Amino acid sequence: MEQQLIRWLEERLGPGPKVPLALGDDAAVLQHSGSRSVVTVDLLNDGVDFVLPDDPPQRVGRKALAVNLSDLAAMAARPLAGVVALALPRQGAFELAQGLYEGMLPLAAEYDLVIAGGDTNTWDGPLAISVTLIGEVTDAGPLLRSGARSGDAILVTGRFGGSRLGHQFDFDPRVEEALWLITRYPLRAGIDTSDGLSLDLARVCRASQCGAELDKAAIPIADAAYAWAEQLGDGSTALDHALGDGEDFELILAVPPEAADALIDEQPLACGLTRIGRFVSEPGLWLLDENGSRTPLDPHGYEH
Amino acid sequence: MEQQLIRWLEERLGPGPKVPLALGDDAAVLQHSGSRSVVTVDLLNDGVDFVLPDDPPQRVGRKALAVNLSDLAAMAARPLAGVVALALPRQGAFELAQGLYEGMLPLAAEYDLVIAGGDTNTWDGPLAISVTLIGEVTDAGPLLRSGARSGDAILVTGRFGGSRLGHQFDFDPRVEEALWLITRYPLRAGIDTSDGLSLDLARVCRASQCGAELDKAAIPIADAAYAWAEQLGDGSTALDHALGDGEDFELILAVPPEAADALIDEQPLACGLTRIGRFVSEPGLWLLDENGSRTPLDPHGYEH
């Protein structure tokens, strides 16, 4: 639905001098008074992105802020300020709002982000929480989805799959990692994996008008992906979950091959940095097995 | 509830170098890369701020954007860009989203605002729509709530009351009016009347640590306030509605007396500009009748 709406909007909206990049990336890029910033918004809903009261408000608040920080990371932007809008169920509204902020404030402090304001309402509906963040672009940024070229290596941070077992709430947005990398190495494109490794990679491919080959054995699979596959017992594999679960909130990066060699050698990130394949000129996604045989990969993950 | 939460948050958050003004005004003020901007968010909910399907999506979308433009007007900031987050009921989600944007886009164009991005979700709850706007501060701004001084005249744009008869959806945010005024006249403080003339005036008084006297006969009462009082037939007067209905989205301004004289004489705004009283040093609100007798006025309006 969201992709359909974006296509409809793209015919009606477009970039302009004040907004060099609007729809279709992790954040919009703004140009004003000689400075560039990015702005991103994510709205989380009870029953979709979390389930009250099983997921306590502190965890929900943390997640609502963290997913937006991850969008800033995807643009390699430094967090500046945020605003928070809450639609709270009437019953216990104040305590719920407190809990949400108790989850947000420590994370905001950790990322040097100021919660600058908000709007707080009560209603007869379930909890909806919308966070908008503004970030500063470095001289090397912003990092877009559209810069990957055939031959670029595909690097990823961290590990993938099984996020429902807890990672979807507890993840660390890769803000410092993105800023560290973009100020030292040529990064051509990037995205965060909110909806699924294969689906988000396909978005980079589409924006960059290219395709990608993944080395099956190279994909870093989280322990939780194995646990989740076992728990489901539906014949799905840990690799399936790594490719499609989403809410990993890791980075996918397009990096020129020599720089990728250097980065893989250096291993500068505590969360790990893995080369999982390469961008190719032919549109599409493929999985390469150890014998070099290539099978098409359907991008899959969470569709809004 | 919202005021209680703001007080709780004020102990935990505060202004800093990146955010010179955070909670407690119509928008937050950001300082970065040598430029100043303001950011504001408003979340509108089905059943509270509008009622679907009686209020068509186009009207709802227009209102969601217009209330935020009114917050920029209150800060005398020029609209730059906005992002929109939607939580849509699953049934008919795409058509509803289209309708909302059909209401937003013409208004955005009119105010030279770019819709730069958004987040669109479906869920089992009712419609919630959150709009965040970023505005540019002029050299003379931002206009805050906190600058009124005893002796300043209270000027207002437009007329008040009865907004439920249609004005709550059809109002024109006073963006151009605010920018025109602030670049030509000394404005000491300002607010937009989203919650009610008396309640919003009380907020300026509190922020400015002063009080205010209103000249009863001077308050510009909208025709709709008379119609609404008659329709309710509950003994309430048109003046009651002008003082407390809210959603007028007019400006209340604190202006030094000589500048106020000149402005009232010049009458530069098509929507009208009326002097309705003066700020006084003693905290509180009063209504002065034509004989000069003074009665305390309880600030009233919409409490979030």
Model ipTM value: 0.91
Answer whether A13 sits within 8 Å of B115, measured CB to CB. Answer: yes
pLDDT at position B249: 98
Residue among A32, A83, A97 whose CB faces B5 most closely: A97
Domain end call among A84, A107, A137: A137
Same domain flag for A172 and A283: yes
Q: Which of B130, B192, B304 to mutate to test the interface with A (most CBs of A within 10 A)?
A: B130
Among the candidates B79, B109, B137, a domain finishes at B137
Q: How near does any CA of chain A get to the CA of B233, in Å?
A: 28
Enumerate the residues of chain B whose CB falls inside 8 A of the CB of residue A19.
81, 114, 116
Residues of B in contact with A86 (CB under 8 A): 43
Cβ proximity of A83 and A63 under 8 Å: no
The span from the CA of A45 to the CA of A57, in Å, is: 12
Angle, helix A57-74 to helix A175-182, in steps of 10 degrees: 10
Instruction: Read off the CATH number of the domain in which B42 is found.
Output: 3.30.1330.10
Domain assignment of residue B304, yes or no:
no
User: Domain check: are A87 and A163 in the same one?
Assistant: no
State whether B96 and B177 are in the same domain.
no
Residues B228 and B109 in one domain: no
| A280/chain B closest Cα distance in angstroms | 29
Cα separation, B25 vs B66, in Å, equals 17
pLDDT tens for residues B242-266? 999 999 999 999 999 999 999 999 9
Q: Mean pLDDT for chain B? A: 93
The mean pLDDT of chain A is 93
What's residue B53's pLDDT?
Answer: 94
Residues B127-138 have a mean pLDDT of 95
Residues B103 and B163 in one domain: no
Partners of A40 on chain B (C-beta within 8 Å) are 83, 117
CATH code: domain of residue B192:
3.90.650.10
The share of chain A scoring above pLDDT 90, in percent, equals 83
Q: What confidence score (pLDDT) does residue B15 get?
A: 65
Let me know if residue B258 belongs to a domain: yes
Q: Which residues of B touch A48 (CB under 8 A)?
A: 121, 123
* Chains A, B: CB pairs < 8 Å: 229
Which residue from B85, B72, B76, B71 is spatially nearest to B116, judged by alpha carbons? B85
C-beta of residue A143 within 8 angstroms of C-beta of residue A181: no
**What is the distance in angstroms between the Cα of B130 and the nearest Cα belonging to chain A?**
7
Alpha carbon of A130: minimum distance to chain B alpha carbons (Å): 7
Co-location of B103 and B196 in the same domain: no
Average pLDDT over residues A43-67: 96
Determine the distance in angstroms separating the CA of B302 from the nearest CA of chain A, rounded to an integer. 11
Q: Are B25 and B39 in contact (CB under 8 A)?
A: no
Residue B75 resides in a domain: yes
Calculate mean pLDDT across residues A166-181.
97
Question: Beta-carbon neighbour count of residue A35 at 10 Å?
Answer: 14
Q: Inform me whether the pLDDT recorded for B284 exceeds 70.
A: yes
What average pLDDT does the segment A75-88 reach? 95
Kindly state whether residues A133 and A159 are assigned to the same domain. Answer: no
The reply to whether B303 falls in a domain is: no
Say if residue A165 is in the same domain as residue A130. no
Number of domains in chain B: 2
DSSP annotation string for chain B:
-HHHHHHHHHTT----SS-SB-TTSSSEEEEETTEEEEEEEEEEEBTTTB-TTTS-HHHHHHHHHHHHHHHHHHTTEEEEEEEEEEEEESTTHHHHHHHHHHHHHHHHHHTT-EEEEEEEEEESS--EEEEEEEEEEPTT----STT--TT-EEEEES-BS-GGGTHHHHPPP-HHHHHHHHTTS---EEEE-SS-HHHHHHHHHHHHT-EEEEEGGGS-B-HHHHHHHHHH-SS--HHHHHHH------EEEEE-HHHHHHHHHH---TT-EEEEEEEESSSEEEEE-TT--EEE----S---
Nearest CA in chain B to A11: B105
A238 assigned to some structural domain: yes
Q: What is the pLDDT of residue B183?
A: 95
Go through B243-261 and write b for each residue having 16 or more CB atoms within 10 A of its CB, e for each that does not: bbbbbbbbbbbbbbeebbe
Which is higher by pLDDT, B280 or A26? B280
Q: Is there a contact between B33 and A35 if contact means CB atoms under 8 Å apart?
A: yes
Run of H or E residues at A125: none
Residue B301 lies in a domain: no
Claim to verify: residue B174 and residue B270 sit in the same structural domain: yes
Residues from chain B that touch A101, judged by Cβ atoms under 8 A, are 5, 8-9, 12
CA distance B117 to A72: 14
Q: Look at residue A196 and tell me if it is in a domain.
A: yes
User: Which domain covers residue B120, as residue numbers?
Assistant: 2-137
Which residues partner with A119 through β-bridges? Answer: A85
Asked if pLDDT for residue A299 goes beyond 90, the answer is yes
Please give the residue of chain A at the shortest CA–CA distance from B25.
A117
- Shared domain for B222 and B290, answered yes or no, is yes
Three-state DSSP state, A197: helix
Answer whether A105's CB lies under 8 Å from A147's CB.
Answer: no
Number of H helices, E strands in chain A: 9, 12
- Given a contact cutoff of 8 angstroms between Cβ atoms, the answer to whether A73 and A143 are in contact is no
| CB contact at 8 A, A5 and B94 | yes
Interchain contact, B121 vs A12, CB within 8 Å: no
- The answer on pLDDT for A23 being more than 80 is no
Nearest to B43 among A23, A46, A119 (CB): A119
Q: Kindly report which listed range (A70-84, B6-20, B39-53, B276-290) carries the lowest average pLDDT score.
A: B6-20
Q: Quick: pLDDT tens for B1-41.
A: 778 888 888 777 766 666 666 677 778 888 876 778 899 99
d(CA A124, CA B107): 29
C-alpha to C-alpha distance for A28 and A144, rounded to whole angstroms:
10
Task: Please indicate whether, in this complex, the C-beta atoms of B94 and A9 are within 8 angstroms of each other.
Answer: no
- Per-residue pLDDT tens digits for A208-236: 999 999 999 999 999 999 999 999 999 99
Do residues A99 and A58 make contact, with C-beta atoms less than 8 angstroms apart? yes
A191, A187, A201, A194: which is closest to A284 by C-alpha?
A201
User: Least CB-CB distance to B13: which of A18, A37, A115?
Assistant: A115
- At B190-202, the pLDDT tens digits run 999 999 999 999 9
pLDDT above 90 (res B303): no
Same domain, B278 and B235: yes
pLDDT for B151 beyond 90: yes
Q: Do A120 and B40 touch (CB under 8 A)?
A: no
Q: Which of B137, B165, B194 is the last residue of a domain?
A: B137
CA distance B203 to B211: 10
Do A125 and B47 count as a contact with CB atoms less than 8 A apart?
Answer: yes
| Among A28, A42, A128, beta carbon nearest to B125 | A128
Residue of A nearest to B15 (CA): A116
- Shortest Cα–Cα distance, A237 to chain B (Å): 28
* Rounded CA separation B91/B123 (Å): 9
Inside any domain, residue B77: yes
Min Cα separation B196/chain A (Å): 17
Task: Give me the residue from B16, B36, B120 closest to A304, CB to CB.
Answer: B120
Let me know whether A170 and A277 are in one domain. yes
